Amino acid sequence: MAKTKSAQFLNKFGQKAKLAGARLTDKHINLAVTGLSQSGKTAFISSLMNQLLEVNESAQLPFFSTHREGRIIGVKRSTQMDITTSRFAYEDAIEGLSKQPAQWPQSTTGISQVRLLIRYKKKSGLAKWLSEDGCLTLDITDYPGEWLLDLPLLEMDFAQWCEHCAKEMRDVQRADLSAPVRKQIDNLKLNALGDERHLQEIAENYAAYLTQCQVAGFQLLQPGRFLLPGELLGAPVLHFFPVSQSQLNMQNIDLSKLKKGSNIALLAERFEHYKQHVVRPFYQQHFKRFDRQIILVDCLGALNRGYHSYHDLQKALNWLMGSFAYGSSNMLKRLFKPKIDKLIFAASKADHITSDQQTNLVKLLDSMLRDARKQLQFDGVVTESTLIAAIKASKNGVVQQDGQDISVVQGLTEDGQSLTLFPGEVPTQCPQPEFWQHQKFEFPRFAAPRLKEGDAINHIRMDQVIDFMLADKLQ
């Protein structure tokens, strides 16, 4: 038994030493693929892996400079460092896309990881003199977008969180959705002896309210595990909810002097437990270690759902940006305290619009990120805005109408019918609220394209994203 433990320790120590060595020599990237629900994270990672694994075969990557220079020797999947975390289901995604009819990759329901090893020919300089070949380790972590927005809770206490959520619940756009659970919360006797079953009932109704908000297009929703609880389903750690300041005042509750065992004490205790034992480990195990980041943004989906959804998405992006450690990175920082030094914002689902509207979509994304970007620039982070279709499901075409050429997109609807349409112009900034009273956006949804054996996934601008994130480490 002692020998077994000793061997396990040495193996774990050896893995960490190798990782530290790779970081110190700048040959390791821990990549965060970030985005809120329905932004296309799973499709993105599946496509990213496919393009790299097929880099010397069928992948079309003209803007990936290392590939264009003929210096990629090969890419393979390797065993991830944390073998207690699920493998990213790449094979399932490819199998689904290869079916007839094809199936989109399944949305993320828990944390998964993947490691790729990229072997390349060194370009020039001292590094090439020491060794002609190099190997870059690329680690990617996938996780539910719903969990992202919990990270700012680490900087909040129960009172601050209650104030934030109570304000959201009474917002004019959410008031009708929250009315039933607000009534239940307002009728709760906070100083009464804790009634766990009653608290569970209200918490489940609060979770149902959050789900209704998500369906209605809202993004800034907390706690994220209420929407996607995973292994915590039914656990008391999820049986809490916000209480308004007016209710606290009416019942003479001082949050700094709570009656032990009371309803309000249980709510406050569970909030703190959720922070310390659910959110903090998630942050420490994953987010503190990232050194490059891709943020996927579904601008078109937000436009389809209306001003409230677009505005809420913008708030949510600003909200979560504070959870990451940004700043220029050097060798010592990479080894001991990694910081994100390169960040790309990508408007997803670019195949839902005509090619002449792509510039507008990038401008729309930039307008959404204007405030968040100011601090990043001050911190010395290299940023880029672009658009992508990780899995291209349509093609551009031209039709004649009244003697004029009209650009259109062509694809299959989700029920298999052919669709040809001009989806409309993309605004360069968010329209005023009254715009949606007279006109609506209806950017289409397409069926997944079938992936033929031997082909790489068709895409828009994935090669530019790969070049921005990896090329400087492949010198």
Q: Binning pLDDT at 50, 70 and 90, where does residue 333 land?
A: very low
Interior CA angle at 74 toward 72 and 76, to 5°? Answer: 140
Residues of the chain with CATH 3.40.50.300: 27-143+286-393+452-473
Q: At residue 16, what is the residue type?
A: K
Task: Report the range out of 73-77, 398-402, 442-446 with the highest average pLDDT.
Answer: 73-77
pLDDT of residue 81: 80
- List the single range of 108-117, 127-136, 226-235, 346-355 with lowest mean pLDDT: 127-136
Average pLDDT over all residues of the chain:
88
Q: Binning pLDDT at 50, 70 and 90, where does residue 380 land?
A: confident
189-241 per-position pLDDT tens digit: 999 999 999 999 999 999 999 999 999 999 889 999 999 998 899 999 999 99
Residues of the chain with pLDDT > 90: what percent? Answer: 65
Task: Identify which has the larger pLDDT, 97 or 286.
Answer: 97
Interacting residues of 89 by C-beta distance below 8 A, sequence separation 6+: 105, 106, 112
pLDDT of residue 206: 98
CB-CB contact of 270 with 237 (8 Å): yes
* CA–CA gap between residue 425 and residue 361 (Å, rounded): 9
Q: Binning pLDDT at 50, 70 and 90, where does residue 318 land?
A: confident
| Mean pLDDT, residues 421-430 | 92
Q: Binning pLDDT at 50, 70 and 90, where does residue 439 land?
A: confident
62-96 per-position pLDDT tens digit: 999 999 999 999 999 999 888 888 999 999 999 99
Q: Binning pLDDT at 50, 70 and 90, where does residue 21 land?
A: very low
Residue 320 half-sphere exposure toward CB, CA atoms < 13 A: 26
pLDDT of residue 325: 64
Domain 27-143+286-393+452-473, CATH: 3.40.50.300
- List the single range of 52-61, 201-210, 265-274, 338-347 with lowest mean pLDDT: 338-347
Q: Helix (H, G, I), strand (E, B), or coil: what is residue 215? A: helix
pLDDT of residue 331: 41
What's the Cα-to-Cα distance from 85 to each of 79, 282, 418, rounded to whole Å?
11, 12, 41
- The CB density around residue 390, as the number of other CB atoms within 10 Å, is 29
Q: Which DSSP letter does residue 193 get?
A: B
Residue 379 has pLDDT above 50, yes or no: yes
| Mean pLDDT, residues 403-413 | 91
pLDDT of residue 138: 97
Closest CA to 247 of 166, 130, 141, 365: 166
Q: Which DSSP letter does residue 403 get?
A: T
Reduce the secondary structure of 272-286 to three states and give it as a string. Answer: HHHHHHHHHHHHHHC
Residue 20 has pLDDT above 60, yes or no: no
pLDDT of residue 337: 57
The whole-model pTM stands at: 0.87
Residue 115 has pLDDT above 60, yes or no: yes
| Mean pLDDT, residues 321-343 | 62
| 460: β partners | 389
Q: At residue 349, what is the residue type?
A: K
H runs (alpha helix) in 89-157: 90-98, 125-130, 145-148
Query: Which own/partner pairs from 131-134 qualify as long-range (CB within 8 Å, at least 24 positions apart)?
Result: 133/73, 134/27, 134/474
- The two most distant CA atoms of the chain are separated, in Å, by 83
pLDDT of residue 109: 80
Query: Which own/partner pairs from 412-421 qualify as long-range (CB within 8 Å, at least 24 positions apart)?
Result: 412/446, 412/447, 413/444, 413/445, 413/446, 413/447, 414/445, 414/446, 414/447, 415/447, 416/101, 416/447, 419/444, 419/446
